[in-house]
Structure 1
Amino acid sequence: MDTTPTDPLVGRLLDGRYRVDSRIARGGMATVYLALDVRLDRTVAIKVMHRTLAEDPSFVRRFIGEAKSVASLSHPNVVQVFDQGADGDNVYLSMEYVPGRTLRDVLRDRGRLPGREALEVMIPVLAALGAAHQSGLIHRDVKPENVLLADDGRVKVVDFGLARAIEATNQTRTGLMIGTIAYMSPEQVTSGAADARSDVYAAGIMLFELLTGRQPYEGETSMAIAYRHVHDTVPLPSALLPGSPQPLDALVAQATARDPESRPADATAMLIAAVETHRMLSRESGPIHSGPIHSGPVPSLPLPATGAHQAPLPAPAPSMPLPAPPPASPTLVQPRVEVLDEPAPAAPAAPAPATRRGPSPKVWFLAALAVVMVIGIGVTGWLFSRTTMATVPNLVTQNVTIAADVARKRGFAVEIGPAEHSEEVAKDIVLRTVPAAGTEVEPGSKLVLFASAGPKRVAVPNVVGQDVNAAREKVSAAGLTVDEVKKQASETVPRGQVMRTSPAVGNKVKEGAKVDLIVSAGLVMPDVMGMQRDAAKSALESVGLVPEFVEQTDAAQPCTVIAQDPQAGAETDKGAMVRMTLSACGNGEWHWPWENNDQNVTDGDGMTVVIPNVVFKDVKAARDELRAAGFKVRVNKALDRNRVLAQRPPGGQQAPPGTEVVLWH
């Protein structure tokens, strides 16, 4: 297990629910962690997609859809998907944790497997793929790395649908092809198309590797291997291992046919062929299995037309764990045991007539009559002594007090059980009874009534003033889920702290309901571009920022901000330095355009109007006043306040009607 301490996710509470304890493995598409689901108190595996994939919206959409499809697939040989979600940049799956090792680890440690043992691994794999194919799911990435052998002997297939989600992205697929090209069907290589028969091809390649200890094609590049998939025929196992059983050659050849039409239609069809091949192999072709091979529900398998008896298989070698039989799983494999023809036993000789001895017919008649009389007396006594049974009435949907009175009047000893929460049934209405309605019991029996406590409601915890991670943990501990984290500027609350929740703190909501956290973004840098020096200085200092000015020669209006750093809208903290570049303040010789004799911009009559001074006035009132005086108005947001912080040109100046006046608020 990879326990690298520098992993930033280890030790975190992911999505307010999963405590990441350690890193298990890191692959080309995702990293897998061991985690504790703090809500359900169970160990899970968390698969977190790599950042480059999580940043692709098309991948995330397809990934969520595939996760939902896989979660609906319930099969003992498929790793179960519990949950899917995102925490910031981390897109993840919560899955069943299967302690054990991969089939790749087994091949690396042991090399090739005997024929029977290889089939006993493939049969549960094919059962899992067959169940997926019946549900319309294609795996697309069947390989030993995606087959898990649990410590208790179960065989599990993992990573359904992930390859399809990858195909929907714009990501480079080079890494994916290097990792999976050895198992890609010809049609996947040439056109990218995949169906159930593509999974069958990959399963056939995997069976070849289990039998021979190597992959069928080797090459210096992935493209060289892909070329051979398209143009070559997969060799038979016996070509590498002379004496390999012919049924295994036939199964591999059929599964790896280059033409999809020549392969089994899906994994269930290959499963049936694999089971029949297992029946045909001699016991010397591999370790013997002590019992039926279980792999979950599969279609009934055809038995060979023979009169042979069916007997269980002997025990496997301890070096290769086999699937443990799940409860009530059907037996998939029963070997044939030949039974030699034996001569039929001779019919017994007819007994010789014997001389009749014993009681006379009259004595037998009297004895029979006595037996009938005894039985009649017994039945009559039972009928008269039998207790009349009572039937439990249907009290569901009745008020619990009224229901208790009804039950007592019918002779029951009534007990009121603890109330149970229900979203559908109102408080104090009977949900169920024990025994259930319609049950026959002896009169006077105890009848327990369970009433509704009404919908369960949870108070939104007070997380104001906490950081986001602590707030998530507290919300999760209350049985709720953090939905969105929304940032909002604040001049008073430090950046990163929760300012409020939605619904508000203390509100009663359904258990499991979603809660939004409104978190302070701290100060948002005001937009002071175009302000004159004194107005910009005043605006910044009013929110606790420290202005710093640098002048430069410029033809713009003197002492006006022409650049600022940080830029408007950036998040910052109180006391931060704001560097502003001013146009040169000059010596007072600068004139407004309409005062320049060379550029007369007064109206046609040469009339000018005094610009009203609207600084500190309400923004709407200021705009109305300027428009009433005949000026155009443009409003810029600096601190997002309702009063005017600065104006340009300043009030008191003479300007022609129609001149634009800029306001900052």
Structure 2
Amino acid sequence: MDTTTADPLVGRLLDGRYRIESRIARGGMATVYLALDVRLDRTVALKVMHRSLAEDPAFVRRFIGEAKSVASLSHPNVVHVFDQGTDNDVVYLSMEYVPGKTLRDILRERGRLPAREALEIMIPVLAALGAAHQAGMVHRDVKPENVLMTDDGRVKVVDFGLARAIEATNQTRTGVMIGTIGYMAPEQVTLGATDVRSDVYAAGIMLFELVTGQQPYDGQTPMSVAYRHVHDTVPAPSSLVPEVPPLIDTLVTHATAREPADRPADATAMLVAAVDAHRMLPRLTNPPMSHSQPHTRTFSAAHSAPQAAPAHTLIQPREEAPKRRGFRPNWFLVVLAAVMVVAVGLTGWFFAQPELVRVPDLVGKNLELARKSAVAAGFKVQEGKGLNDEKVEAGLVLSSDPPANTEVKKGATITLVPSLGPKRIIVPNTGGMSGDEARSAIAAAGLTVGVVKRLANQVVERGKVIRTSPQVGEKVREGSKVDIFVSAGMVMPDVNGMPKDEAAGYLGQQGFQVQVNEVDDDAEPCTVIAQTPKAKAEVDKGAQVAITVARCQTDFFDWFRGDNEARDDQQNSLVPSVIGKNVRDAKADLEAQGFKVRVQKLGNAGVVQFQRPLPGSERPTGSTVILWQ
């Protein structure tokens, strides 16, 4: 593991959630880090795309789409994708952390593997690819580096969808082929086209490498290797390692046919063939020999026994011996007895081998019924730790270990992992918190903050949370959005134009401390011409408020007469009282008498609280009457 501390991302908290602990590996397209998901308190692997990819909008769009598809692929042999995201210049994928080695590491250590062991690795790889193919996905970069082997022997395939996302980048448009040359199908090289059969071809090359310790083609340059994939036929593995069984030769030849139509239809079809081959191989094989040691077969001594003894008898010289009385051994019977002893011994050895049976498919069944079914089939059963799943109901089997159709000894133990059903999180109580405190509480609960709205509220202190939507106590999906509603305190009412006494009285009733300032102004006397704070400003209850009014002149009627000199050709009317009426009705009454009407809001009462001019005032027809509701 590379724990380079000079890496600038080590120690950084990505997206406010993932604290990067150390660097695990670095590849051509991305760097993998060990990180802690501080929200869920679990260790994850973060695959961070290199900057050249993160700066390409086409890649980022495709990457996000592929991440969503891969996250929906639930299979025990696929590395699970938890999350994807961006943090400024960092584009990342959050995945299941699988401690162990890559298949490439194992090949470096051991050189090559026995045929049966190679199939026991390929079978879960093909199961993972088959699940992806049935979901409409193509891996595009099947190779030992993308197969992880856990410390307890499980096989996991990683990097689904990454190659497809990279195809959207400028790199592919400049002629760079996506994939690894040593495993590329001919159609990938010549046309850049891939489908499920391209993955089958790569799986065949990987099986070849597992049993021989090397790839089928070697060359001075990548293009020379690509040329051979297009024009040559992949040789049988036994041509390099004679002890490779013919069954493996057949599998490799079928999977690596140059024409896609001549290969298995998809990874599931190849999986069926691999399982059949595994079943027909000898159940016990010798441990791997070094290349300098002669390879011997298990049955060699048994096969030579019935031939060696007769051969020894046939080469005895025919000599005339003097006739003697007494016992003379019958060599034919001696040899036959020896052969029978060996045969009986081999028969006993064969029947002493453990009987292998297939693990039944229990996924999706009721846990208790699955347990009884497995016990009835001769298995031992233990229950694993339950996991949440959005698609599988609680109480059903989510997965089994070993998986379905795996060959195991009769009486082996199967671990059944029950589904806990969809994970639901209770919306936390954030009432009375500040906006920032509420954000933190919602994030800590595994939810996402949606919109934050401010509402006028005379009860809850300004800046504090009034409520959330969904409301506190509701159960929602993990990651769901929660909207926060924060108190704006009181909103300053608009009293501009209102008569002085009415304005001061109303503001006092609302809990404000009112200061009135009179100034000389051409406006109608004793009416508000300015206010501080301004209308609709957020204020606290009990705040100091100042209103400025036009001076209340004693010669009001002189002002009124002067104002009407320009309208002496108009008829005056008395302004009726509409206070307490529904605003719509009051407006209709005033307009019926020839007045214009303007409505200003103080609250949501819907009825007239104040009016100007005051009731009983005489005004010319066509004058404007202001109503406050």
Q: TM-score, normalised by structure 2?
A: 0.51
Matched residue SS, 1:43: strand
**Counterpart position of 1:331:** 405
- The change in CA–CA distance for 1:18 and 1:66 in structure 2 (over 3 A counts) is same
* Alignment check: 8 A CA contact 1:217 1:225 kept: yes
Matches within 5 A, 1:101-116: 101-116=101-116
Question: Aligned AA for 1:81?
Answer: V
* Alignment match, 2:243: 243
Q: Does 1:76 align with 2:76?
A: yes
CA distance in 2, matches of 1:32, 1:295: 36
Deviation (angstroms), 1:154:
0.7
TM alignment of 1:329-478, pairs within 5 A: 329-333=403-407, 456-458=428-430, 476-477=443-444
Where does residue 41 of structure 2 map in the other structure? Answer: 41
Task: Give the equivalent residue in structure 1 for 2:204.
Answer: 204
Output the CA distance in 2 between the equivalents of 1:117 and 1:328: 16
How far residue 205 of structure 1 moved from its aligned partner, in angstroms, is: 0.1
Correspondence for 1:52: 52
Once the two structures are superposed, the pairs formed by residues 221-240 of structure 1 within 5 Å of their partners are: 221-240=221-240
Structure 1 length normalisation: TM-score? 0.49
**SS of corresponding position for 2:244:** coil
Looking at structure 2, the residues matched to 152 and 175 of structure 1 have their Cα atoms a distance apart, in angstroms, of: 41
Deviation string for 1:530-579 (max 9, x for gaps)? xxxxxxxxxxxxxxxxxxxxxxxxxxxxxxxxxxxxxxxxxxxxxxxxxx
CA contact (8 A) 1:458 1:478 kept: no
Take 1:9 and 1:482, find their aligned partners in 2: how far apart are those partners? 26
RMSD: 3.8
For 1:252, the equivalent position in structure 2 comes to: 252
Cα distance in structure 1, aligned partners of 2:424 and 2:245: 62
**1:279 Cα deviation after fit:** 1.5
Contact 1:146/1:157 (<8 A) preserved: yes
For residues 230-274 of structure 1, the C-alpha deviation after alignment (integer angstroms, 9 at most, x for no partner) is 000001101101232111101000000000001000001000100
Which amino acid counterpart does residue 403 of structure 2 have in structure 1? S
- Cα offset, 1:515, TM superposition: 8.8
8 Å Cα contact 1:15/1:482 also seen in 2: no
Q: Secondary structure at the match of 1:241?
A: coil
User: Cα 1:201–1:173, aligned 2, differ >3 Å: closer, same or farther?
Assistant: farther
Question: Matches of 1:112 and 1:175 in 2, distance apart?
Answer: 34
Partner of 2:619: none
Deviation of the 1:281 alpha carbon:
1.5
Give SS of 2:223's match.
Answer: helix
- Cα distance between partner residues in 2 of 1:205 and 1:114: 16
**Distance in 2 of aligned mates of 1:26 and 1:505:** 47
The 5 Å alignment of 1:562-641 reads none
SS at match of 1:85: strand
Cα drift, residue 475 of structure 1: 7.5
Tell me the alpha carbon deviations over residues 15-62 of structure 1, each in whole angstroms, 9 at most, x when there is no partner. Answer: 111111111111111111111111111111111111110111111111
> Structure 1 residues 514 and 172 mapped into 2: Cα distance closer, same or farther (>3 Å)?
farther
SS of corresponding position for 1:126: helix
> CA distance change for structure 1 residues 463 and 33 in 2, over 3 Å: closer, same or farther?
farther
- Equivalence for 2:270: 270
Describe the superposition over 1:446-475 as per-residue Cα deviations: whole angstroms up to 9, x where unpaired: xxxxxxxx96454697688x9xxxx99888
In structure 2, the residue matched to 1:171 is: 171
CA positional deviation for 1:335: 9.7
Aligned residue in 1 for 2:64: 64
Change in 2 beyond 3 A, CA 1:263/1:478: closer
Q: Deviations over 1:471-491 (max 9, x none)?
A: 99888447554789xxxxxxx
- Aligned with 2:23: secondary structure? strand
Matched, 1:10 2:84: no
Q: Aligned with 2:407: secondary structure?
A: coil
Q: CA deviation at 1:162?
A: 0.3
Counterpart for residue 182 of structure 2: 182
Q: What is the DSSP-based 3-state SS (H/G/I as helix, E as strand, rest coil) of the residue aligned with 2:82?
A: strand
The Cα shift of 1:168 comes to 1.4
SS in structure 1 opposite 2:400? coil
Q: Could you say which residue in structure 1 is the equivalent of 2:98?
A: 98
**1:22 — aligned with what?**
22
Residue 172 of structure 1: CA displacement?
5.5
Change (3 A) 1:211 1:49: same
- Whole-Å Cα distance in 2 between the matches of residues 289 and 120 of structure 1? 17
Output the CA distance in 2 between the equivalents of 1:422 and 1:473: 19
Q: Deviations over 1:407-436 (max 9, x none)?
A: xxxxxxxxxxxxxx999xxxxxxxxxxxxx
For the 8 Å contact 1:117–1:286, the answer to whether it is kept is no
**Distance verdict in 2 for CA 1:14–1:226, change over 3 Å:** same
Give the CA deviation at 1:153: 1.1
Paired with 2:226 and 2:5, the residues of 1 have a C-alpha distance of 39
Q: Identity of paired residues, percent?
A: 68
1:296, distance to aligned residue in structure 2 (A): 8.1
Aligned partner of 2:146 in structure 1 is 146
Q: Verify the 8 A CA contact 1:102 1:146 in the aligned structure 2.
A: yes
- Return closer, same or farther for 1:82/1:151 CA change in 2, 3 Å cut-off: same
Aligned-pair CA distance for 1:13: 1.3
**CA offsets per residue over residues 612-637 of structure 1, 9 Å max, x none?**
xxxxxxxxxxxxxxxxxxxxxxxxxx
Superimposed CA distance per residue, residues 486-526 of structure 1 (whole angstroms, 9 cap, x where no aligned partner)? xxxxxxxxxxxxxxxxx97746445853799xxxxxxxxxx
2-side partners of 1:10 and 1:249: how far apart?
47
Larger relative contact order (C-alpha < 8 A, sep ≥ 6)? Answer: 1
8 Å CA contact 1:34–1:43 kept in 2: the answer is: yes
Distance in 2 (CA, whole Å) between partners of 1:171 and 1:202 is 22
